[in-house]
Chain A
Amino acid sequence: AQTVTQSQPEMSVQEAETVTLSCTYDTSESDYYLFWYKQPPSRQMILVIRQEAYKQQNATENRFSVNFQKAAKSFSLKISDSQLGDAAMYFCAYNDMRFGAGTRLTVKP
């Protein structure tokens, strides 16, 4: 079974600084997709970024980027120039079925 582990239940970052959220997963498949979703307080979960396993280049979306290490089965999310609006729960997901427990990110002004 594919499992997704987010080892940081909570993280904190100063506004304008950079923070990295960790995610590891377990799989025997060679082709798959990985996602990071953001769930702001009392708001709907939305997609932040997506990575296809066969692509070696790390995905980037504005201030959000990933460090995808396929051999290590690691998929971390880096948020640069953190903003107050980045405060949320962040979920890592494997394909469209397996999610981690989430990391609660606090952004300090």
Chain B
Amino acid sequence: ETGVTQTPRHLVMGMTNKKSLKCEQHLGHNAMYWYKQSAKKPLELMFVYSLEERVENNSVPSRFSPECPNSSHLFLHLHTLQPEDSALYLCASSQGWRVVPYEQYFGPGTRLTVT
């Protein structure tokens, strides 16, 4: 185990539903990340939170909304998703971000299916 947990592990939702993904890290890290992993595509960085700074990939649709209430918890709120949003969503954490590219610790991911 890497010290990063994600719930739920699997999620099936309709296009009109609202759901949230949760990530928790027990490593004392200062940065947390959301990635989207689709088959045969590069891992896509969606959002970064680091010491109250938030950075987002401008290509991520607004139907994905992140929330980081503290340095240990990260959420991804989902609403009115599309079938193409079906993917594995990975959470990661690291000691810091951008100053020095630190090793990232990944969670097991949430397999999301949008029907």
Q: Does B45 contact A (CB under 8 A)?
A: yes
Q: Does B75 contact A (CB under 8 A)?
A: no
Does the CB pair B40–A96 fall under 8 Å? no
Partner of A91, one of B4, B43, B97: B43
Q: How many residues of A contact B (CB 8 A)?
A: 23
Counting chain B CB atoms within 10 Å of each CB, which of A4, A46, A99 scores highest?
A: A99
**When the two chains form their complex, are residues B106 and A101 in contact, meaning their CB atoms are under 8 A apart?**
no
A 74-109 binary contact with B (CB < 8 Å = 1; else 0)? 000000000000000001010111111110000000
How far apart sit A92 and B35, CA to CA, in the bound complex (Å)? 15
How many Å lie between the Cα of A50 and that of B100 in the bound state?
A: 13
Residue numbers in B under 8 Å from A35 (CB-CB): 101, 103
Would you mind naming 16 contact pairs between A and B with Cβ atoms under 8 Å apart? A33-B100, A37-B106, A39-B106, A44-B1, A44-B4, A44-B108, A46-B106, A96-B98, A96-B101, A96-B104, A97-B101, A98-B45, A100-B43, A101-B40, A101-B43, A102-B42
Query: Is A16 close to B, CB under 8 A?
Result: no
Interfacial chain A residues near B1, Cβ < 8 Å: 44
- B residues bordering A, Cβ < 8 Å? 1-2, 4, 35, 40-43, 45, 48, 90, 92, 94, 97-98, 100-104, 106-109
A46/B101 in contact, CB under 8 A:
no
Binding site for B on A (CB under 8 A): 4, 9, 32-33, 35, 37, 39, 43-47, 50, 91, 93, 95-102
* Chain A: CB-nearest residue to B94: A96
The answer to whether A45 touches B90 (Cβ under 8 A) is: yes
Q: Which residues of B have CB within 8 Å of A4?
A: 42
Question: A55 → chain B, closest Cβ, in Å?
Answer: 14
CA–CA, A21 and B107, complex, Å:
24
Chain B residues in 8 Å Cβ range of A93? 43
Chain B residues near A39 (CB-CB < 8 A): 106
B42 touches A97 (CB 8 A): no
Q: Chain A residues near B101: list those with CB within 8 A.
A: 32-33, 35, 95-97
